Chain A
Amino acid sequence: MTALANNSEGGVGSHRAAIVPAAVTRLRLTDFRNYTAAGLEPSGRPVVLTGPNGAGKTNLLEAVSLLAPGRGLRGVQVSEPDRRPAASAETRTASDVDGGGSEHGARKPWAIAARVAGPAGTVDIGTGRDPEAERRLVRVDGHPARNQQALAEHVAVVWLTPQMDRLFLDGGGARRRFLDRLILGFDPAHAGRVGAYEQAMRQRARLLKERGPGGADARWLDALEVQMVERGVAIAAARRDMADRLDRACRQAEGPFPAARVGLAGDLDDWLDGGSALAAEERFQERLRAARPRDAEAGGAGVGPHRSDLMVRHAAKGLPADQCSTGEQKALLIAIVLAHARLSGAETGTGPILLLDEVAAHLDGERRGALYRRLLDLGLQAWVTGTDRAIFEGLEGRADFFRVEAAAIRPDAAAR
C-alpha cells in the first residue's frame, strides 16, 4: 500500500480463491471536501483510517461511496462536496454547510478518480461535479457514462455510519434506502426503477395538486399510474426477494452478532405474498385510482412501495429491533451487512466494498474482534475509521493502515 506512490500487488481476493470482492486499489481526490489533492493506493485488503476528529476520514469514505450511484453516504446535493477555500472541516460555518450563496463562486468542482479491481478485472472510474452545471459526471475507463447507474455495473458499496445508529428508530425512508442499497449489489437496475417510480409519483402528485382529481385529465393520471404500477411492483418484488434471502442468511447467530428475522410490511408486500405480480399490479392500480381525491388533499400517494417498511427482529429475544438496546441494534445491523456480503459472494462471486465509519469504537472487544475476523474471512475490502489505532489491533498485519491528519494521507505501516 502507498499514499500516491507504489501500487502493491495481489491483495485483492487473496483470502478466497473463488470469490473476488470489489476493491479500490487507487483513489485520488481533487477539491473534494477538505482535500485539495490527495490520494492513496490500497492493496485490496481492509483499509484502516486513523486520525483526529475533523481530519477528513469520513470524507474519504464518502468519496468511496460516490463510486456507486446515488448521493453517497452523506446523501448530499451534488455541489456539497466541493472544496471551499479557507474552510476546513473545523472552521466551516453553518452557511458554508448550507451552501450559502456568497461563497458559491469560490467553490471548485470536486472530482474523484479510482481504480477498482473486481472479478472482471480492473476498471477506472471517474466522477465529479460538472464545472458548468449542478450535475454529476461519470466516466468509466475514460468514456463518459450515460448516467450514474452505469457505476452499479462495476461496484457495490454498502456503509454503516454513526447516523445509521438510529436506523431502526427513525422513519421508514432510511430503512428502505438501506435495503435498496443492498439490492444494488445483485440488481444494478434497481436504482433506475426506484428513480423512475419516484418521478412518476411526483408527476402525479403535482397534477393532482394543481388541477385536482376532477380537473386533471383522467387519461394523463391513468398513464402516470401505469408507470408507477409497473415500476412499483418490480421494486416491491426486488425488496421482497432481498428481504427473504437476508432472512434465511441471518437465521443463525454469527458469534456475538445475533440472529435476525428480516421481512417487509406494506400493502404491496401483502398483495405479493398472497398472489401473483399481475394481480398485485391490478390491485395497486385500482387503489391509486380510488385514492386520487385523498392524495390530492394529502399530497404524495397513500399506497405504493414508498410506504413499505423493512422489519427486523432480534430472533433470540423475539423483539422488534427498535425495542432492542442501542448495542443490540448496532449488532443486528452488522449481522445484516455481513449476511449480505456472504450472500453476494456466494451468488455473484464478488462482494461489496464496506464502509464502516466509527463502527469499531462503539463495539465491545469481543464484537470488535469478531467483526474483524468475519471481514477477513469474507475477504472484503472494508474501510474502517477511528481516532485510535489501538482498537484495530485485530487487523494489524492484515490491513492497510493510513494516517489522516489535516487533509493529508500517509501510510501508517508501523504498529505503535
Chain B
Amino acid sequence: MQEIDRLIQLLARLPGLGPRSARRAALDLVRKRESLMRPLATALAEAADAIRTCSTCGNLDTADPCHICTDERRDPTLICVVEQVGDLWALERAAGFKGRYHVLGGVLSALDGVGPEDLTIAQLLARVGGDSPVTEIILATNLTVDGQTTAHYITERLAESGVRVTRLAHGVPVGGELDYLDDGTLSAALKARQAL
C-alpha cells in the first residue's frame, strides 16, 4: 500500500484537493489504470521534461522565449503585468489583448515572506529600460490588498521610466445589472466612468 499512500499524499498537495478528494482521485485512477492513469503519467512526465519558464515574461511554454514573446504580430509597446500564469491564460482566453505579458510570480506579502526580490519586478524594470520599445505597462493584478499593494509598488518603481502606467478598469461586469452590484463596485465604476 506504500505506493497508493504516496500517490494519495502527492495528489493531496494539489490545490483544491484535500485528503478525502485525493483518496477519491487515487481510487479513480487505479480503476482506470489503462485509460487514465498511464496516459496521465506519460503526460506528466512529458510535461515535466518539456515545459519551461519563459526567461523574458515568465509564461510557461515548451519554448524559451515563449510563443507570445516571439509572436511578431503582437504589439511590443504594450506589456500587461499579471500575478500568475493562470491570469495570463485568462486574458488570452478573452482574446482582447494583443500586446505582451509579464508574470510577476506572486504578489508582495510581508506575512508570507514575499518581497520585491522574490518577484520578477527587476526583470520588468529591465524590459522597460534602455532602448525598449515599451510605452505602456498595464497592471492587471488582482483587486486584493496584496494585489493592489504590488500594483502601487510597481507604479512607484516605474515612475522615473517615463512609461505610461495604467490598470484594468473596475466596475460593472458585462451583462451585470446595477441593482445587484455592491457599493464598492458601483463606486469604482463611477470613478472610472468614460465619455461616450
Q: Which residues of A contact B (CB under 8 A)?
A: 130-133, 153, 187-189, 192-193, 196, 199-200, 202-204, 206-207, 210, 217, 219-220, 222-224, 226-227
Contacts and interface: CB of A to CB of B under 8 A. Distances in A.
A132 B20 contact: yes
A195 B170 CA distance: 20
A219 B110 contact: no
Contacts of A210: 110
Contacts of B108: 203, 220, 223
Given A132-B19, A222-B153, 14 more contacts: A187-B183, A196-B144, A199-B145, A200-B145, A203-B145, A204-B110, A206-B110, A207-B110, A223-B148, A223-B149, A223-B153, A226-B149, A227-B148, A227-B152
Nearest to A207: B110
Given A132-B20, A192-B184, A226 B152 contact: yes
B153 A219 contact: yes
Contacts of A188: 182-183
A357 B21 CA distance: 40
A222 B152 contact: yes
A226 B20 CA distance: 42
B150 interface: yes
29 contacts: A131-B18, A132-B18, A132-B19, A132-B20, A133-B18, A153-B182, A187-B183, A188-B182, A188-B183, A192-B184, A196-B145, A202-B111, A203-B110, A203-B149, A204-B110, A206-B111, A207-B110, A217-B153, A219-B153, A219-B156, A220-B110, A220-B115, A222-B156, A223-B108, A223-B148, A223-B149, A223-B150, A223-B152, A226-B149
Main secondary structure of the interface of A (DSSP, over half): helix
Contacts of A224: 110, 149
Contacts of A130: 18
A228 to B, nearest CB: 9
Given A189-B182, A203-B110, A217-B116, A227 B145 contact: yes
A203 B115 CA distance: 11
B109 interface: yes
Interface of B: 18-21, 108-111, 115-116, 144-146, 148-150, 152-153, 156-157, 182-184
A226 B155 CA distance: 12
Nearest to B184: A189
B159 to A, nearest CB: 9
A110 B140 CA distance: 38
Contacts of B153: 217, 219-220, 222-223
B111 A223 contact: no
B193 to A, nearest CB: 19
A160 to B, nearest CB: 27
Nearest to A130: B18
A207 B108 CA distance: 11
B150 to A, nearest CB: 7
A75 to B, nearest CB: 21
A222 B144 CA distance: 16
Nearest to A204: B110
Nearest to A133: B18
Nearest to A187: B183
A367 B110 CA distance: 51
A187 B183 CA distance: 8
Nearest to A198: B145
A133 B20 CA distance: 11
Contacts of A199: 145-146
A363 B115 CA distance: 55
Contacts of B20: 131-132
A203 B116 contact: no
Contacts of B111: 202-203, 206
Nearest to B148: A227
B115 to A, nearest CB: 7
